[in-house]
Amino acid sequence: MSEHYNLLVIGGGVNGAAIARDASGRGLKVLLAERRDLASGTSQTSSKLIHGGLRYLEHLEFRLVRESLLEREVLLKSAPHIIRPLNFVLPWIAARRSALRVHVGLFIYDRLGGRGSLPASHQVNLRRTPWGRGLKNHLRLGFTYADCWVDDSRFVVLMAMDAQNRGATVMTRTDVTAMTPTDKGWQVTLTQANSEKQVSAQVVVNATGVRADRVGREIAGVAETPQVRLVKGSHIVVPRIHAGDHALILQNEDGRVVFVLPFERKFSLIGTTDTPITDPEREHVVDEAEVDYLLRAVAPYVKQAPGPEDVVWSFAGTRPLKDDGDNNPSSASRDYSLELSSRGDARVLTVIGGKITTSRKLAEAVLSRLAPHLPRMSGTWTARAKLPGGDLTDIEIYHDRLRVDFPNLNPIYLRHLIDRHGSLCHDILEGCETGADLGRHFGGDLYQREIDWLKDREWAVSGDDILWRRTKCGLQLSPEQREAVMESMAQ
């Protein structure tokens, strides 16, 4: 007999992981199936912001902006080690947007979703305050406001861990390859490297991002699955180009904005582009023209403008957006839609669009929509819950405690470990007396002990899982050191 689940969630990106977490916390028997690694799709390639999206106000997306603004405080409390406040500076250039327009936008932004703990926006003099450090001298007027930063791929992994802690089964490297309707729901084929497995599920959620329409039509056999519109966005990483802990939001001459975020201490993350594509296989390709676009967007603002030779890393991802018929990829709605379809008594709900920021609210909306087709569930709970490692009241106090408990370990290393694991650092380091107990050192902050944890607890299988998703140590390591991680994981 095949294993039976109340809910099968296909796709281990931010939306699938959030749905699986919420559903398992409400007492459902849940399976989350991801064909590659968790967060290996669009969710690892975001701009890493928990934000309302100031520019979405220009497209009058008030519902989405309000929901997103409110989520900042909820998510901040749930995982303060991987989500933190981030101040933005918008250096003003008269030709790009009027100062009045920026003022009005920020006024609405401050009030639409309530700021809670985040500071209010204000106008600043860039020449006389640290907000202007690294910017060109002719830039005088600026505006500041606050949003939050998130480690996007760790956010996904932590939600999957929480789902598992609450009883869900999480299967990575597991492709959903066939679905047959039955009188009790679906009979589903799961394909792993060398084997196939049959399971049954009362209801299925298709959270496969850019593949949602293909999976809906070809695997679930639902002909009316809506079309997904693909808009690729690329980012580049260069050595730090401005001082301070704040980010820059730069108005580009085409009317778009480009972000420059402090990244992994020594770097700046610059993004993003908006390029329509039709072939999902091109979703991870960063084109030369995109690199050029981003470098040109930054050049009018910063004293030390980076060139192509400064790019140390780049990545691209594709937004799976609702096809609303708008020709402009930048103004296409970033809101989500949920489409419930049936084949006889078998139901599949397809998720299209959404943001990292709204994933928790999206999960609530999914379960409310599916409630009539699922066993009785308990009510909403995720707004007040912590993610694994997130039960910290003050990160610096926790750091002090860690230093006392592990006096022979480098305090800077401990601080960096908290940024990844929060209060779980004690579990990872249990029994560590000296640096030698961390095991093999691969370079930067990466030791065998953490890799073992990531393999045992976080479904890491390959070198890329470790270097670019569970950690960003790939940026600190030389090509030879990265190769050593790859080889060690392949053994």
Rule CB under 6 A: which residues touch ligand FAD?
Answer: 10-16, 33-36, 40-43, 45-49, 175-176, 207-211, 215, 233, 272, 317-320, 351, 354-357
Least spacing, CB of residue 351 vs ligand FAD, in Å: 6
Residue 144 vs 357, nearer CB to ligand FAD: 357
> Which residue, 142 or 233, is less far from ligand FAD as judged by CB?
233
The nearer residue to ligand FAD, 43 or 481, going by C-beta atoms, is 43
The nearer residue to ligand FAD, 219 or 451, going by C-beta atoms, is 219
Work out how close the CB of 16 gets to ligand FAD at its nearest, in angstroms, rounded to a whole number: 5
Q: What tokens were used for 351?
A: 């998720």
Residue closer to ligand FAD, measured from CB, 319 or 449: 319
Residue with Cβ nearer ligand FAD (153 or 481): 153
Instruction: Give the shortest CB-46-to-ligand FAD separation in angstroms.
Output: 3
Cβ nearer to ligand FAD, comparing 245 with 487: 245
* Three-state secondary structure string covering the chain: CCEEEEEEEECCCHHHHHHHHHHHHCCCCEEEECCCCCCCCHHHCCCCEECCCHHHHHHCCHHHHHHHHHHHHHHHHHCCCCEEEEEEEEECCCCCCCHHHHHHHHHHHHHHCCCCCCCCCEEEECCCCHHHCCECCCCCEEEEEEEEEECHHHHHHHHHHHHHHCCCEEECCCEEEEEEEECCEEEEEEEECCEEEEEEEEEEEECCHHHHHHHHHHHCCCCCCCCEEEEEEEEEEEECCCCCCCEEEEECCCCCEEEEEEECCCEEEEECCCEEECCHHHCCCCCHHHHHHHHHHHCCCECCCCCHHHCCEEEEEEEEEECCCCCCCCCCCCCEEEEEEEECCEEEEEEEECCCCCHHHHHHHHHHHHHHHCCCCCCCCHHHCCCCCCCCCCHHHHHHHHHHHCCCCCHHHHHHHHHHHHHHHHHHCCCCCCHHHHCCEEECCEEHHHHHHHHHHCCCCCHHHHHHHHCCHHHCCCHHHHHHHHHHHHC
Q: Could you give the count of Cα atoms lying within 13 Å of 342 in the half-sphere of its Cβ? A: 6
- Minimum distance of ligand FAD from residue 211's CB (angstroms): 4
At 392, phi and psi to the nearest 5?
-120, 130
| Least distance between ligand FAD and beta carbon 47 (Å) | 3
Nearer residue to ligand FAD within complex by CB, 354 or 463: 354
CB 388 within 8 A of CB 158: yes
| Closest residue to ligand FAD: CB criterion | 13
**Taking the complex as a whole, how short is the minimal distance between the CB of residue 441 and ligand FAD, in angstroms?**
31
Residue closer to ligand FAD, measured from CB, 6 or 208:
208
Residue 144 CA to residue 432 CA, distance in Å, equals 43
To ligand FAD, the closest distance from the beta carbon of 322 in angstroms equals 11
Minimum CB distance to ligand FAD, residue 218 (Å):
9
d(CA 216, CA 84): 36
Burial (CB < 10 A; 0-12, 13-18, 19+), residue 200, is middle
Whole-angstrom distance, CA of residue 389 vs CA of residue 383: 16
The minimum distance between CB 354 and ligand FAD, in angstroms, equals: 5
CB of 109 to ligand FAD, least distance (A): 15
CB of 10 to ligand FAD, least distance (A): 5
Q: Is the Cβ of residue 70 or residue 438 nearer to ligand FAD in the bound state? A: 70
Strand partners, 342: 347
Rg (CA), the chain: 23
* 13 vs 388, beta carbon nearer ligand FAD: 13
CB of 321 to ligand FAD, least distance (A): 8
Q: Of 71 and 450, which has the nearer Cβ to ligand FAD? A: 71
Tokens of 275: 């390029």
